[in-house]
Copies of this chain bind each other. A is one copy, B any other.
């Protein structure tokens, strides 16, 4: 069951990631090609970085190239739909939060099947869930929001930790997976609702700037 559900969720996730990235491209006045490319890189980049770092070949979009049609299509479809986006904000935030949980679980699964140690499994989930957005921000010449924003990565770590912990406790896979995703989703939505943030570190010194490093 769950595998099929995850599969559907995955398509929802890459579609939403590509569409939100398309809006970023629009804010930078990119051309249609840039929109399609930024959407695809954002939607599939996190999983690609995970696979490259773990040496897990072939990459998802190489094994299933039609995913590129989904991400390019979703990004380009955003252009005419952009005017309606603000009205769909809550829906997109919900789908995006679901996508974060889905990407995290998928990333953990890849590392688990490779027999990676616990920490690497959690990190693999976080990379899959979060780094696509970091690539998007780098390509838009912005400091990654991930490093300064709501509990996005923390949600991914909690989701991955609960998922892995449940499996290691010998609990059945599907309830553990859905439970971990539900907790992560709830935490993310609460963070958005109440504007929860990690405390910030503000430093005005210049050790670094002067040491030429």
Contacts and interface: CB of A to CB of B under 8 A. Distances in A.
A28 B93 contact: no
B33 A150 contact: no
A54 interface: yes
A190 interface: no
B213 A68 contact: no
Interface string A29-57: 11111110110000000001000111101
**Integer count of this chain's copies in the complex:** 3
A32 B138 contact: no
Interface stretch (A5-13, A161-169, A175-183, A204-212): A204-212
B79 A33 contact: no
A174 to B, nearest CB: 27
A86 B32 CA distance: 30
B141 A86 contact: no
Contacts of A152: 212-213
B23 A148 contact: no
Report, as a range, how many residues of chain A touch the other chain: 35 or more
Contacts of A48: 53
A203 interface: yes
Contact of A208 (B23, B62, B206, B213): B23
A59 B108 CA distance: 17
A95 to B, nearest CB: 11
A28 B197 contact: no
Given A20-B213, A29-B202, A34-B144, 17 more contacts: A23-B205, A29-B148, A30-B200, A31-B197, A34-B147, A38-B147, A53-B59, A54-B57, A55-B57, A65-B118, A65-B119, A68-B119, A93-B211, A96-B213, A139-B143, A152-B212, A191-B212
The 4 closest A-B pairs by CB, nearest first: A26-B203, A34-B147, A31-B198, A65-B119
